[in-house]
Amino acid sequence: MKSRNLLALVIALSFSTAYAQNEEQVLNSDPIDVDGYLSEKQATDGELEQIKSEIRKQKNEVQLNKDKTKSYNELSKTTEKLSDTTEDYLDNKKSAQKDIAEYNAKIKCLMEENPGKDCDKYVRNRRTDEPQVQQEVQVQQAAATSVATASASALTGAPFEEIKLIPYGGATQYNGKVEQLEAQLSAGLRLESNISTRFSMGMGINYSTLKTQDFANNSFSSMNFGNGYQSREIQYKSMGIDLYGKFFITKGERFRPYVGAGLGYNRSTSNYTENDPYSTFNNNNGGFYNFGNEEFRTSYFSGTVMGGTEILITKTFGINIEAAYATGLGNSVSSQASKNGNNNPDQNRLRELGTEIINAGAMSIFAGAVVIF
């Protein structure tokens, strides 16, 4: 029994020794590649390993530089955002500090019994006892006036920068050597533009009319007809165009006083309003006087001097007040009569009256509107 156990132990030890030798042989054998062949062992030395180490080091540095570049880009973006948010923060901080200071100043003024001038904007209603609504209306009106003023003062003075349309009307009195007559209607329309900030030029049309009695014929009629006949009525009409210039003494925000002068060409007509023809015997020369349908027309030049002021209400509308003096220049340019003066004494009286009015000094007071484009 013992001998059998000893034999089994010897056999086991022999098998273990053979297995260990075989395993060591397999581990120490040359490596086999994927194709089943033995791979050749690569040669190496210290220099090659140093080169490989340097390559690995440079690859690591390249990757490191890429990571650093990416990080700097992100840092630049976050710095820009930080700058914007910081600017907003400082602006909001200043605005809040200003509002707080304004509030503190207002409270201080309201608490004082005798506030100074610096507190007027806070305690104006308490001083004047004006309702808040009225103050707001005044502020709005002042703002509108300021806007109109700023717009008017913003003009550069370039020619034709400001165009005005001026319709006007008023009263005119003719002071001649014999006659003193007053126009029933005197009106006109002007179109004007600036040449500079102080000087403007324009052109206009004017119309006037008046009526008077033929007083010279009154004595003649009473001698021939008795007291039943009254003198006939004469109507005088004048229409003209004129060119003028204005010099503004001050270019104010609301009031614009000026002086000016102009030259005009006029056409006037004188005739009787009662044109029923009739005749009467003249004892002095044995002939007949023919009445009715007499008319005298003439053209003449005139000169005008003026002075007045423009009063602006808004930036595009205002009123104009003006005084003017006009008179005819020299004799009539042309004239035409419907009757022969030698046989018609009324024709001569129309001519004399027309000439009297033309050479008279015409004093006028006008008021009109100013529309600015």
Do 180 and 130 reside in the same domain of the chain?
A: no
Q: Which long-range contacts (CB under 8 A, 24 or more apart) does 214-221 make?
A: 214/272, 214/346, 214/349, 216/349, 217/345, 217/346, 217/349, 220/345
| pLDDT tens track, the chain, 373 positions | 555 666 666 566 666 565 555 555 555 555 555 555 555 556 778 889 999 999 999 999 999 999 999 999 899 889 988 988 898 889 899 889 988 988 888 888 887 777 777 787 776 655 444 445 455 556 556 555 554 444 444 566 788 889 999 999 999 999 988 888 999 999 999 999 999 989 999 999 999 999 998 866 654 444 444 444 567 789 999 999 999 999 999 888 899 999 999 999 999 999 888 765 555 545 555 455 556 678 899 999 999 999 999 999 998 999 999 999 999 998 788 888 877 766 677 888 888 889 999 999 999 999 999 999 8
Q: Final residue of a domain: which of 106, 138, 154?
A: 154
Do 302 and 175 reside in the same domain of the chain?
A: yes
Question: For position 284, what pLDDT does the model report?
Answer: 52
Do 253 and 359 reside in the same domain of the chain?
A: yes
Q: Which residue is it, tokens 């005749």?
A: 279
Residue 180 lies in a domain: yes
Question: For position 223, what pLDDT does the model report?
Answer: 43
Do 256 and 350 reside in the same domain of the chain?
A: yes
Question: For position 36, what pLDDT does the model report?
Answer: 55
Residue 91 lies in a domain: no
Do 289 and 324 reside in the same domain of the chain?
A: yes
CA 1 to chain centre: 135
Domain total of the chain:
2
Do 216 and 137 reside in the same domain of the chain?
A: no
**Which residues in 131-160 are b (16+ Cβ under 10 Å) and which e?**
eeeeeeeeeeeeeebeebeeebeeeeeeee
Do 140 and 218 reside in the same domain of the chain?
A: no
Do 217 and 361 reside in the same domain of the chain?
A: yes
At 173, which CATH number? 2.40.160.20
Residue 175 lies in a domain: yes
Do 181 and 224 reside in the same domain of the chain?
A: yes
Residue 129 lies in a domain: yes
Question: For position 208, what pLDDT does the model report?
Answer: 95
Do 132 and 247 reside in the same domain of the chain?
A: no
Do 176 and 245 reside in the same domain of the chain?
A: yes
Question: For position 267, what pLDDT does the model report?
Answer: 95
Do 130 and 176 reside in the same domain of the chain?
A: no
Domain that holds residue 319: 157-372
Phi, psi values for residue 237, rounded to 5°: -130, 145
Q: Final residue of a domain: which of 154, 170, 201?
A: 154
